[in-house]
Structure 1
């Protein structure tokens, strides 16, 4: 009888262990859906930051940090191989903030046009999606800076251009730039300044198709491409066909910063800023940027509501 009980106990224990194993696998599949997520940098709670959460602040979902982001293009944010999980530097930094505040991260993919109203109406606790700080936006939202807003000049790896460090360096070059963009306006101002100085003209080229743009650069029909440094740096690292030859602030000649947006007057921005500064000190912030080849855009200190780009006249 005792022998039979022993066999029975062994079988039951085995089944329990098997069930636990299966449940563990299912849980792992649920929370870790892509290779990109496995390398995500994680952090410990930051008690000093948690103490800065206002007593009256209510998260959208208790125990969770609900963050809206706009899937567009890596390395900023796009969908993983499961076609539904946002990945990129923005989700990675959102994870660090959630970890620091002792909360579970809940990412909400949205369209860009929806973030201001959604945040103001309380649909999510924060927006982390390459939002540049401007004085106009500061009238409606609070910000915690986390990255420099940079534009990058990229040349073909074997191209003739070695460095662009000032507006005069684009004189005589053929430059690709996106139409109706901030970088186009900066480039056109440089061209006018160079013209006034009697410098050679700059040829501006526009391409709607990324593949055609890349071909023009590789074939020598254009000398450099001017665009958001984040996406260009990621492409350069991934494909190895281009190289960085210069960076400038996205608000040239003023400095521009990318920041977490939160509801105006909610008081939560200081807690976010405190977490970011602790992760900068711990090195987790730099490791997260390095995953996406964005260390060139690192800041040394996060600030709550830093100076923003001025209102357009």
Structure 2
């Protein structure tokens, strides 16, 4: 980050620190953070899915579907007002699957790094938290897809950019992205491709503080923000300050999908896939996506172990 950018960040951070308490109150009022989650979409049993559960499969706790959850940021998952119950889009997906299988949902809050060993060791029946299907992960896990993994370009509501659908569209623009991320690597590849075509260079900006990032975008210091579409879409729907101007796969140029992860060879994945497809068919799935502003990432069909992102 340049000296001027750092100075800008420091000044804005100071101002925002005075506004943060009130902003937090407003945000809390807009989102249901109650542990009861009365607005959560529920489902009836899906007998076709229940019949696919292997007779010898032993759930972590009989009668319960034990799922690893990673509370951290909405819409995926965060702690409810009781500071112990995970709520968000991923707990909602877990609830739909549990209901379909005729089981009680048991969510176990964990750190992201703990889900792979937890599923393999049998601590959890499944992990549901924005997990992308990759060929490497398929060596240890079975997957049942339920969402497209999308990245999104967002601009201010009154911004000059109205559409981004190809690398050429970012030529000459100032784009915010997080360092060390997949989206940064994709953006840098786009910029190099534009450079080879003789197009105008793009300015890449990095901000460690999300609040400072927001001000940079709203003030015109940057034209676009590139990040995970799910979190940006949820934020845009609540704050009403940004608009989506383009999405593409998180595995660009390959397609990437988000899925329920179960232990490889456990036999549970096919039952989960059938359960998800019934919820897609009956409309519950669409209601869930709408609740968390994730409609753009919806799939028309759940698939078991589709092609994943290739190994590096």
Would the TM-score normalized by the shorter structure come out above 0.5? yes
Corresponding residue number in structure 1 for 2:90: 90
When the two structures are superposed, what TM-score results if normalisation uses the length of structure 1? 0.89
Corresponding residue number in structure 1 for 2:222: 222
Contact 1:153 1:246 (C-alpha < 8 Å) held by counterparts: yes
**Residues 146-161 of structure 1 aligned to structure 2 (within 5 Å):** 146-161=146-161
Corresponding residue number in structure 1 for 2:285: 285
Contact 1:276 1:302 (C-alpha < 8 Å) held by counterparts: yes
Contact 1:36 1:87 (C-alpha < 8 Å) held by counterparts: no
Instruction: Describe the shift of the 1:291–1:194 C-alpha distance in structure 2 as closer, same or farther (beyond 3 A).
Output: same
SS at match of 1:108: strand
- Aligned mates of 1:99, 1:240 — CA distance in 2: 34
Corresponding residue number in structure 2 for 1:266: 266
Corresponding residue number in structure 1 for 2:67: 67
Corresponding residue number in structure 2 for 1:5: none
> How far apart are 1:122 and its partner, in Å?
0.3
> How far apart are 1:83 and its partner, in Å?
1.4
Contact 1:144 1:305 (C-alpha < 8 Å) held by counterparts: yes
- Aligned mates of 2:228, 2:281 — CA distance in 1: 27
SS at match of 1:225: strand
- Aligned mates of 2:85, 2:102 — CA distance in 1: 21
SS at match of 1:38: coil
Question: Larger radius of gyration, structure 1 or 2?
Answer: 1
Contact 2:98 2:105 (C-alpha < 8 Å) held by counterparts: yes
- Aligned mates of 1:162, 1:141 — CA distance in 2: 40
- Aligned mates of 2:119, 2:52 — CA distance in 1: 20
When the two structures are superposed, what TM-score results if normalisation uses the length of structure 2? 0.89
> How far apart are 1:84 and its partner, in Å?
1.1
- Structure 2 alignment gaps of length 5 or more: 1-31
Corresponding residue number in structure 1 for 2:183: 183
Instruction: Describe the shift of the 1:35–1:115 C-alpha distance in structure 2 as closer, same or farther (beyond 3 A).
Output: closer
SS at match of 2:247: strand
Contact 2:33 2:87 (C-alpha < 8 Å) held by counterparts: no
SS at match of 2:309: coil
- Structure 1 alignment gaps of length 5 or more: 1-31
- Aligned mates of 2:33, 2:148 — CA distance in 1: 30
Corresponding residue number in structure 2 for 1:304: 304
Contact 1:128 1:260 (C-alpha < 8 Å) held by counterparts: yes
> How far apart are 1:35 and its partner, in Å?
7.0
Contact 1:41 1:92 (C-alpha < 8 Å) held by counterparts: yes
**Residues 1-313 of structure 1 aligned to structure 2 (within 5 Å):** 34=34, 37-312=37-312
Task: Give the number of aligned pairs.
Answer: 281
Instruction: Describe the shift of the 1:36–1:209 C-alpha distance in structure 2 as closer, same or farther (beyond 3 A).
Output: farther
